[in-house]
Amino acid sequence: MSAAAQEVPYPGKLIVAGTSLYSSYFWGDGFSGAETNLALNVSFPHIPGLYRLSGGYGYITHDGATALPMPVVSGGWGFPVVADTFVFMPFVGLGIITPVTGSGPPSPVGVVYTEVQAGVRIHGSSYVHVFAMAGYAFQRREEPGAGFRGGVGIGLSSAGVARLPVLRPKGRLKIEPDSMFSPDGDGENDELFISYRIPHRENVVSAVLRVLDQNGHPFRTWGQLQEMAGTIVWKGLSDTADGPPESVSSASDYTIELETVDILGRTSVSRKTFRVDVLVVKDGDTYKIRIPSIQFPPNSADFTQLTDKTAIARNKEIISRLAAIFLKFPEYRITIAGHANSDYFDDIDKMQAEQEKVLIPLSYSRAEMVRDMLIQAGVRPEILRVSGYGAALPLVPFQDKMQRWKNRRVEFILEK
């Protein structure tokens, strides 16, 4: 019998399991016998009682005849009550006995029984117990063991906590709206609704929700979510620990990540990706669009030479979206400005030479490439002009290896 009253902190994932070895003597109308069984006892948290599955072997005599061998299989349910060193448990079960008569094939017989066990702890979670039982065998009267029966027995049990091979408690994510996120203050898709659900939150020791930028770096983090489910309304701003918050980048992909760690130390991660629309930001009498996500090959202005065909398609998609926006500003002239990163920021002379010989010509050529693609997409060429600034106007310090990718960008300034 198992000490099933132990507390287990992980519903459905940990079990109290034990084994029992017991022997019994039984009797009935014209028969008697003995059997020995080995049992597996299991108790699940939040499911009352103890479940037992056992198998064994015994002998039965009928009307004084020769003892017959008898394989036994049984199972049942009990309700243990543990009080300090003592255990008491009522139990009901169903068994199958198979007396081997030798005059034909064995005929399995069903037995319904109930028993009462009483035990005392002898060491740790080991118990010695005695029991009395009563039951009824469903078989013809002339067969061995038929009808009502009684019995007594003694056994030894031990118990312990075991783990079941279960799935990790993985969180679930949902993002709304389904269309592109556009936190530019125009009243349309300015907020992202991040809904999460954490199954069995009481068994999760850590639950962190974060937004990762297009390079996989943390952009915004919500630590230690306490509720099983909730919705966070996000306006697209970063964390503020290192300074004032910044907005998400135009035409870029971000990832929502929900990471949970359960009480067994296992980590699960759920992810959802969303796309930021081209953001048009008003700045005095002008409008500005800043896009760091148009990709070019190293030291080249022709993005059609990229080996990543997905990146080429993404570039064309961004330019198509830009063209659609510019058509809404027919009275504005548009400056396309290319910007770059410097590899020699720690050496003023080398940086100046790189700026004049490489970065300004390269950023100008890239701006020209974007202009030509916009013209192909239907934007009037007379409203477009280009400029290349190289590394002259960085957004973040060149030393910042995690964020310096933002310096490599194309900006669009719309002026009347």
Give me the CATH number covering residue 86.
Answer: 2.40.160.20
pLDDT per residue as tens digits for the range 37-49: 999 988 876 678 8
* Residue 81 near residue 87, CB atoms below 8 Å: yes
Pair (242, 286) in one structural domain: no
Helix axes 309-326, 360-376, angle to 10 degrees: 70
| CATH code at position 330 | 3.30.1330.60
65 Cβ contact partners less than 8 Å away, ≥ 6 residues apart: none
Q: Is residue 13 very low, low, confident or very high in pLDDT (cuts 50, 70, 90)?
A: very low
* Domain stop point among 277, 299, 329: 277
Does position 53 have pLDDT exceeding 50, yes or no? Answer: yes
Would residue 3 count as lying in a domain? no
Would residue 40 count as lying in a domain? yes
Which structure tokens are listed for 342? Answer: 């410097």
Pair (106, 230) in one structural domain: no
Structural domain of 416: 280-416
pTM score > 0.85 for this model? no
Positive/negative CA dihedral, 292, 293, 297, 301 = negative
Would residue 4 count as lying in a domain? no
Pair (27, 133) in one structural domain: yes
Does position 381 have pLDDT exceeding 50, yes or no? Answer: yes
Does position 3 have pLDDT exceeding 60, yes or no? Answer: no
Task: Label residues 167-188 b or e (16+ Cβ within 10 Å = b).
Answer: ebbebeeeeeeeeebbbbeeee
* Domain stop point among 163, 188, 211: 163
* Residue 332 near residue 383, CB atoms below 8 Å: yes
* Residue 169 near residue 268, CB atoms below 8 Å: yes
pLDDT per residue as tens digits for the range 205-230: 889 999 999 889 999 999 888 888 89
Pair (139, 271) in one structural domain: no
Pair (157, 18) in one structural domain: yes
Pair (158, 119) in one structural domain: yes
Pair (235, 117) in one structural domain: no
How many percent of the chain have pLDDT more than 90?
47
- Residue 79 to residue 90: CA distance in whole angstroms: 6
Does position 163 have pLDDT exceeding 80, yes or no? Answer: no
Burial class from Cβ neighbours inside 10 Å (0-12, 13-18, 19+) for residue 80 reads: buried
Structural domain total, the chain: 3
* Residue 339 near residue 390, CB atoms below 8 Å: yes
* Domain stop point among 242, 277, 312: 277
* Residue 192 near residue 237, CB atoms below 8 Å: no
Does position 177 have pLDDT exceeding 60, yes or no? Answer: yes
| CATH code at position 225 | 2.60.40.2550
Would residue 303 count as lying in a domain? yes
